[in-house]
Amino acid sequence: MRSYKVTLSLLLMNLFIAFLGIGLVIPVMPTLMNELGITGTVVGYLTAAFAIAQLICSPFAGKAADKFGRKIMIVIGLFLFGFSEFLFGLGKVIEVLFVSRILGGISAAFIMPAVTAFIADITTKETRPKALGYMSAAISTGFIIGPGIGGFLADFGTRVPFYFAGALGTVAGILSILLLTEPQRLEEETSLSMEKGGMKRIFAPMYFIPLVLIFIASFGLAAFESFFSLFVDHKFQFTPTDIAIVITGGAIVGAIGQVVLFDRLTRIWGEIKLIRYCLVISAVLVFLMTVVSSYFAILLVTFIVFIGFDLFRPAVTSYLSNIAGNEQGFIGGMNSMFTSLANIFGPIIGGMLFDVNVNYPYYFATVVLIIGIGLTLLWKKPAPVKQKALV
């Protein structure tokens, strides 16, 4: 049991570090924009480059994890992540920064499927949903807290956050070499739905709406967070430290809200109603960001909006785990794919809109979240046992 806990903790830490790299760049973007003379559209593409590379490489990296082993892919991914962060810190032209973000996306593609498969190998059907929930929380926390860490470290220099992340990835790679042992694989766990034309399963009613909602909520979070630093810099002249305080505070409040409220609210409302209310809260607060003007109001809105996003992710993950049965691997991959797609389109569309008007990314994200609310009104919980018996 102790070995299992150490292994799972290290795997979750590796995921946290990988997704930390997505958000780390956000608070220093206003400074980099001024240094390099780039537009909001270019910032959007730079943010999306990570997710695009991850999305393209993930299927190949997943097959490689089956062929060459989980541990080797995780270790290579972590060292590649470390190198990409050092490269971003050293980069003085936009082309180098794009190469860095692409390498970062490839590293996440190496790490994510290998960690997912590793967790599937070391868990049972009973313990797997809980472990996958922890995995989802590690990803969300890394993405949310990254800007906070980046903002605090930026006080010591614009490039310091990236040197810190590079060192962190390198240390995690060394720890993985020393502490991880290649897991034994069970034959029943290696036959994934994806290999049997499982992509069509996306459109099954039991999966389609929650997967679309994952895209919508992740899009809203990506659009909100990716341009938060530019938004408050342009409108309120926030410093990197101000940005770090707001986002880190929001991340902490969101995490506490998740721990304190999630189980209780799930028992009271069930996952579908909780997801609906989270989207309502998120839509209202994302819109309010365009209206508020005082520092305290920005602080309050940001803190509460993260509670909505943080309660949404475990609710939809729990729902999918409960209905997926023996398709846990498939649905975990689809969860990751739809999140990556949102992390691509959110920053790109947000960047284009930002160049027109600083408020437009938030208006658009609000509309997308409202569409999600409408979808939850059409959503009915399936009878999973009967449906799985027909597959």
Nearest Cα to Cα of residue 150 among 298, 38, 30, 21: 21
Tokens 């909602």 correspond to what residue?
213
To 10 degrees, the CA torsion angle through 370, 372, 375, 380? -130
Domain map of the chain by residue range? 2-180+198-381
Is the full-model pTM beyond 0.85? no
Residues 6+ apart with CB under 8 A from 179: 6, 7, 10
230-237 contacts: CB < 8 A, separation 24 or more? 230/29, 230/30, 230/33, 230/40, 230/43, 230/354, 230/358, 231/289, 231/354, 231/358, 231/361, 231/362, 232/298, 233/30, 234/30, 234/358, 235/358, 236/293, 236/295, 236/298
Q: Which is nearest to 322 in space by CA: 189, 206, 205? A: 206
pLDDT in tens, the chain (391 residues): 558 888 888 888 888 887 777 677 777 777 777 888 888 788 778 878 888 888 888 777 877 887 888 899 999 999 999 999 999 889 888 899 999 989 988 998 888 778 877 887 887 766 766 776 677 677 767 777 777 788 788 888 888 888 988 998 899 899 889 888 888 765 544 334 444 445 666 777 677 888 888 888 888 877 777 777 778 888 888 877 787 778 777 777 877 777 778 778 888 888 888 889 989 998 998 899 888 888 888 888 888 887 887 788 778 877 876 776 656 556 666 776 787 788 788 888 888 888 888 889 889 989 989 998 998 888 876 654 444 433 3
CATH architecture of 2-180+198-381: Up-down Bundle (1.20)
